[in-house]
Structure 1
Amino acid sequence: MSNFRSLLIWQKSMALTTKIYFSTNNFPKEEIFGLTSQIRRCSISIPSNIAEGYGRESDKDFLRFLNISIGSLFEMQTQLEIAKNITSLNEDEFNNLYEDSREVERMLVSFIKKIKIRN
């Protein structure tokens, strides 16, 4: 791998972040500093931590940043559920974003296992 941009997990999480931004554009204006901001920050954290961890000198550091990414992903999934419950997201939007997030989750878990095995 030449750099973090070549990681499929980074590419998928970037695509998810982009979808999150478009979906949260329609959230109520009173949520701009609440749920909208929080969901966006979590989604940004996922590829950002993958990239930062990739740049570290050890697998141990990389694993730490990948685990932070998973934590941000779970936080975002929870907030998407809240957005659906308060009808800021309709069922179809929620299902689409949630399935994309589950794909990133599975990829992160698998990637973490591979790194642990090689050590």
Structure 2
Amino acid sequence: MKSYKDLDIYNLAFTYAIEVHKVTMKLPKFELYEQGSQVRRSSKSIKDNIAEGYGRRIYKQDFLKFLTYAHSSLLEWLSQLEMIDELYQIPEIKELREKYETLGGEIYSFTQYVEKSWRT
């Protein structure tokens, strides 16, 4: 791996953050800066923590810490999205939730790999 961009979890998180941004723009105007903003920030935080962790990869514990932050942001995102889904029933939300559930598993698996096999 030459870059964080070589990580599948980063690429998925980036792609999904773009999708989230577009979907949240369908929220009512008053929610664009409340719930919508929070969801956009947490989805972008996932990819950013993966990238920052990769930048610290020579320090295995730092890498693990940022992967944990990425997973935590993903859980925050899911929690926020459940609320939006309940309030507004935007059709794309269900598919996004499924994608993020899968991404959460992939981040978890990658974290386990780094914990067991990563060499600094």
Sort the TM-score into its range (normalised by shorter chain).
Answer: over 0.9
Q: How high is the sequence identity, in percent, across the aligned residues?
A: 32
Equivalent residue pairs, number: 117
What does residue 99 of structure 2 align with? 100
CA RMSD of aligned residues (A): 1.0
Q: Deviations for 1:63-107, whole angstroms, at most 9, x for unmatched residues? A: 0000000110000001111001111x42x3121000110111011
**Structure 1: segments with no counterpart, 5+ residues:** none
Which consecutive aligned stretches of 4+ in structure 1 deviate over 2 angstroms post-superposition? none
Aligned counterpart, 1:71: 72
- CA distance in 2 between counterparts of 1:70 and 1:47 reads 10
| CA offsets 1:25-53 (integer angstroms, 9 cap, x no match) | 10011012210000000000000000000
* Unpaired stretches in structure 2, ≥5 consecutive residues: none
Task: Specify the alignment match of 1:39 in structure 2.
Answer: 39
**For residues 18 and 117 of structure 1, what CA distance do their matches in structure 2 show?**
32
CA distance in 2, matches of 1:115, 1:6: 15
Between the aligned partners of 1:67 and 1:29, the Cα distance in structure 2 is: 33
State the one-letter code of the partner of 2:104.
Answer: E
Length-normalised TM-score, structure 1: 0.94
TM-score (normalizing by structure 2): 0.93
| Residue aligning to 1:48 | 48
What is aligned with 2:26?
26
Q: Distance in 2 between matches of 1:103 and 1:16?
A: 11
Matched residue SS, 1:76: helix
